[in-house]
Amino acid sequence: MAKIFAITNQKGGVGKTTTSVNLAASLVATRRRVLLIDLDPQGNASMGSGVDKNDLDNSIYDVLVGSSTAREAILTKLDAGYDLLGANQDLTAAEVELINEIGREFRLREGLVPVLDDYDFILIDCPPSLNMLTVNALAASHGVIIPMQCEYYALEGLTALINTVNRVKQLINPELEIEGLLRTMYDPRNSLTNDVSTQLYNHFGDKVYRTVIPRNVRLAEAPSHGMPVIHYDKDSKGAMAYIALAGEMLRRGDKPQTRETPDLQLI
C-alpha cells in the first residue's frame, strides 16, 4: 500500500515542485515505486518530468471529474523513472465543475484507490493556494511535507497552513499528519535563516528535516531540460541534498514519530 504525501505550501516559489520532482526521482533511485501527481494547473511538475503538459490525452483533471480512471491517465515508462499523473490549465475548471458535487473533497482519494498497491510512494505537488485541489490532496494523504524558505513571512503563512491541515484532520481525514518541514534554498550565511530554523525546531521538534536543500543553480536549470537533477547533474549539491532527504524520509518511516501535529500560533 502506497504512502501518500502532499507537498504543500500556499506560498508560490518555495520549492514545492522542485521537491516533488527530485524527491520522486531520489526515491526511485532507492528502488521504490513512485507515482508523482501534478495537482497544479501550471503543470510545472509535468514539464519538469519531461512531459509536455499540452500533449496530455488524460490528466489529473480527468481523474477528478471522473472522465478517466487513474490507471488510464497515469504515464509510465518515463525517462524520469517514476510514473506521472500530469496536469495542465484544464485543471482550473475542476474546482468549478465539482462545486455542486457531494464529496468533492474525496475525488482524488477515491480515484487513487485502484492504484494504491502499484506504488510504495505517491507524492502530490500542490498548487500555491489552500483551495479545493489542496483539500483533495490533504484528504488523500497520510502526511504533509512543507517546503519553506527561512524568511520571516514564511512563518506567517505556516500558521494558516497548519490550521488547514488540522481542520482537514478533524473533519475528513483523521490519519493526516505533518510529515516534515523542509528548509529549501537554504543559505546558512543569512542570520535570519538561523533564527527561523531555531523557531521551527522549537515548534516542530523532530518534524523539521535535518536535511536542508541548499540554493543550487543545477536545481533551477534541470526543469528546463525536463529532468530531475539526479539525471541532469548527479554530483551537484542539489542532487545530493535530495538523495539525503529521501534517505532521511525512509529512515523516519521505519520508526514511529513521537510528536503530534502541534496546534500552534506562530505569530
Contacting positions for Mg ion (CB under 5 A): 16-17, 44
**Of the residues 17, 49, 193, 261, which one makes contact with ligand ADP according to CB under 6 A:** 17
Name the residue with cell 503538459: 53
* Min CB(180)–Mg ion separation in Å: 18
Of the residues 2, 8, 10, 16, which one makes contact with ligand ADP according to CB under 6 A? 16
* Interaction between residue 249 and ligand ADP (CB under 6 A): no
Q: Is 87 in the site for ligand ADP (CB under 6 A)?
A: no
Tally of residues, the chain: 267
CA 153 to chain centre: 20
* Of the residues 184, 193, 236, 261, which one makes contact with ligand ADP according to CB under 6 A: 184
Q: Which stretch binds ligand ADP (CB under 6 A): 8-16, 106-114, 131-139, 191-199?
A: 8-16
Q: Which candidate, 211, 236, 214, places its Cα nearest to that of 225?
A: 236
**What whole-number distance in Å separates Cα of residue 232 and Cα of residue 130?**
32
- Taking CB under 6 A as the criterion, the residue among 142, 167, 169, 215 binding ligand ADP is 215
Nearer to Mg ion, 8 or 261 (CB): 8
Residue (of 4, 40, 32, 3) closest to 18 by Cα position = 40
- The verdict on 128 binding ligand ADP (CB under 6 A) reads yes
Torsion 191-192-198-204 (CA) sign: negative
Nearest Cα neighbor of 113 from 4, 5, 36 is 4
Partner interacting with residue 66 (select from ligand ADP, Mg ion, none; CB below 5-8 Å by kind): none
CB of 223 to ligand ADP, least distance (A): 6
Residues 183/199, Cβ–Cβ less than 8 Å? no
Contact criterion met (CB below 8 Å) for 176 and 144: yes
For residue 239, give the nearest of 217, 224, 258, 261 by alpha carbon. Answer: 217
Residue closer to ligand ADP, measured from CB, 43 or 98: 43
- Looking at 10, 26, 44, 134, which residue binds ligand ADP (CB under 6 A)? 44
User: Per CB under 6 A, does 26 bind ligand ADP?
Assistant: no
Residue in 148, 219, 198 with CA at minimum distance from that of residue 178? 148
**What is the signed CA dihedral for 15, 17, 22, 28, rounded to 10 degrees?**
140
185 contributes a contact to ligand ADP by CB under 6 A: yes
Q: Which residues bind ligand ADP (CB under 6 A)?
A: 12-18, 44, 128, 184-185, 213, 215-216, 219-220, 223, 238
